Structure 1
């Protein structure tokens, strides 16, 4: 057990997550005591102690500005990180960064006029990021900036449509999805509600035109061919797609895809699909609850190619239970033979909502995961795919990241937009989150100033169906008319 005591509540989040990154399997007990002298006190399982005195920070004796508050919080986190790094005799790939969007930080520095050397030095010195990851973040931010430069992010918007059903629930998954077999008699009712929301959003959008459309989930292809046709037809009829740069449908699970469904998708202006194996090791597919074979992945991918899909993404997960670096190398060999247009490599994150999290499973974070990530990056380069977007998650294996690689003209634009939060994303469906990017910052009820407003739909499928008018009304309070 690790015990942490903080003088101020504002330190608890960063200190907890940095400590958890070094000790993912340890229980952490954290308390706040405003009367204690140290800003942060910590005791590790072996007995080593850390204590940061308040007087060691020069700003501690006066009221601070919001910027100084952030500086103090960052300095406390940095000192905790350095203590843990020394005690564990290793560094974390992303240093003390706890956010999911490191490239957003780099993008801000690019917009401030910093050059490559300044940005990398900033990441390394301010956040203790390794040289390799600082280089990766800069490279990806530059590609993101180039892609965003092709859009008028203030005039357009993106549309997300969520289908919360899957053939089965993978053991590592924490998304809001449900086994399709349990909802067969409710799917049409869900579609009725979803289509009602899409029609309302189309009216609210007025003359504005979407830059990207993303149909995700869950697994959209759990819908029957006729249901899929009805959904895609609604999107086409309700929105002006004349300026569309990208239309993605996550075909996802091979066991949900048929030739008939792919033919339906081809009838619409869909430019990008995913066929996601996560691994090409049958033993692992069986272990994590994916009800398909490696051969099905290959068959469905080739079928999609023959039907004319020329931008196919594949997802892999590094660090799945029981897999070794050799297994990942075999998976990459099989993926390379298929030659997808983009490849997204995730480092496994076990969350409480996932079956693995509920079982209390942990991961061997350090012996294999680094090699898997390196091998995936090397394989992507051999396939001519360049890293174009990046994000991180809490409880991610080895404190690594998720990286999307793509051919130069096949980068997933929606993926970049969702990471950089520079464009409004209208979202429909159970659990979908609309993000409104306002032209100017406003003050929220909590006193925070922001230009990003989130409007969440309820996650429960039956509640979404019954409360669809409420979901629409909540968006109507904010959206343009």
Structure 2
């Protein structure tokens, strides 16, 4: 079946399309702006959305037969100062109308209701910071956005934890740094990050390191009036670098970024087949106080299917090696909804995680990302259904509670299995502070490396600006001076406002 969305009037496409897609994740969805673009097929479901002035109307029809209609006249903004507020109210009102239509057609509820953005907890956190009552916020999430009771409660629990941690951080007077290493042992089936196979692109690692260290030296000379709060080295897989390359990178960071002053220094060790005892000792010697070892699953057949070139045994050995070398704050990532997996597979993975006993556990829900091989080749793989993924999520939540892990941050992505979320669980005092800062957009983050995106937060103006680096490894090497100049020009014009 083809879903056709006909839009008349004001442009709410960015709100309407994701909501329709959430209800019909497996169907082709097409936006039509003119009658001439209409694709007339008997199997088409046509959803017409009229938003003209203060008139809202949602109609669904198929084979020229009307299936649903709802229309309403809403109060328009009387003054310019009232316009943006009313625009938001009308948008939310329209999304609720559309939600009721889609629910009627599919007989399905979405756990996050009308919310399609990636930061549902940001709404809750802002209300908590404004001193609003918990019960009022809960009611707002369920009535304004149709969030399920479970997700409204989850968003409150996470936001309350974030609020407490942020109060202890003095984030307004600090900044964070992200450093990207775009190399991996292999490219996973679901991956869409800036990542290059070390086997194929390893010869470019030296040149990349030189360019990156040039950018690090620049970063050390800016924002001197602010203190470094967190430092995060991600990727890719940073430990794909050789021990000698890793030593040079960490020494450069020591010299120019003063990581010893930061509250948190994280390195994604990530893939167990990239971890050695020497690399773990280097991380410890240079003051890294949080690492991540990411199995994604403890099912060998799934690891083989998704292109992870390591064994379950290697995951176990990597964590034991990390303990041996003195690492006391370890995160592990898993993904639910991987092709071919069932609830029993996730159960078995969690049993293995329990034995390894990391300090935090991040549970990702599989997202079909546009640039991933899984998106392109999805017909070849057995998909996990909506309700099966929901059961998996329930298993992980129960496991986290039983093992004393508390939810402390969450975010969402497009095309997530089960329309769920990614959620970080941690024992008290072991939360990933960088994760909170970047997800809630609370602090300026200077990002270095290919594909890195710096985010500058202007608290006084309630404004966020982004400055991006090029994604291509080749372009980054050739244009490193331009990448530095982009940041330099932006900070020259705006740095005094940070």
3-state SS of 1:270 partner: coil
> What is the CA-CA distance between 1:62 and the residue it aligns to?
9.6
Counterpart-to-counterpart distance in 2, 1:10 and 1:365: 32
3-state SS of 1:28 partner: strand
3-state SS of 1:211 partner: strand
Q: Mapping of 1:55-74 within 5 angstroms?
A: 56-59=73-76, 65-74=83-92
RMSD: 2.1
> What is the CA-CA distance between 1:421 and the residue it aligns to?
0.7
1:126 pairs with 2:127 = no
3-state SS of 1:357 partner: helix
> What is the CA-CA distance between 1:59 and the residue it aligns to?
2.7
CA deviation string 1:219-244 (max 9, x = no partner): 00110011111111111110233431
Do the aligned partners of 1:38 and 1:51 also contact (CA within 8 Å) in 2?
no
Larger relative contact order (C-alpha < 8 A, sep ≥ 6)?
1
CA deviation string 1:422-461 (max 9, x = no partner): 11001100000100111432xxxxxxxx510100000001
> What is the CA-CA distance between 1:261 and the residue it aligns to?
1.1
Counterpart-to-counterpart distance in 2, 1:176 and 1:336: 31
> What is the CA-CA distance between 1:33 and the residue it aligns to?
5.0
Q: Mapping of 1:147-166 within 5 angstroms?
A: 147-166=165-184
> What is the CA-CA distance between 1:17 and the residue it aligns to?
0.8
Of 416, 428, 435, 2:436 maps to 416
1:330 pairs with 2:342 = no
TM-score (norm 2): 0.91
1:250 pairs with 2:251 = no
CA deviation string 1:31-84 (max 9, x = no partner): 23599993355547786644454x533439998711111111111111101111
Match of 2:328 in 1: 310
Counterpart-to-counterpart distance in 1, 2:5 and 2:26: 16
Counterpart-to-counterpart distance in 2, 1:34 and 1:202: 56
1:292 pairs with 2:310 = yes
Match of 1:446 in 2: none
3-state SS of 1:14 partner: helix
Q: Mapping of 1:369-388 within 5 angstroms?
A: 369-388=389-408
Counterpart-to-counterpart distance in 1, 2:468 and 2:422: 24
Match of 1:365 in 2: 385
Counterpart-to-counterpart distance in 2, 1:306 and 1:382: 26
Q: How many residues align?
A: 472
Counterpart-to-counterpart distance in 1, 2:487 and 2:78: 45
Q: Which residues of structure 2 form unaligned runs of 5+?
A: 37-47, 52-56
Do the aligned partners of 2:367 and 2:413 also contact (CA within 8 Å) in 1?
yes
Match of 1:22 in 2: 23
Counterpart-to-counterpart distance in 1, 2:345 and 2:263: 37
3-state SS of 2:309 partner: coil
3-state SS of 1:353 partner: coil
Match of 1:8 in 2: 9
Q: Provide closer, same or farther for how the CA distance between residues 44 and 226 of structure 1 changes in structure 2, counting only shifts above 3 A.
A: farther
- Segment drifting more, 301-310 vs 364-373: 364-373
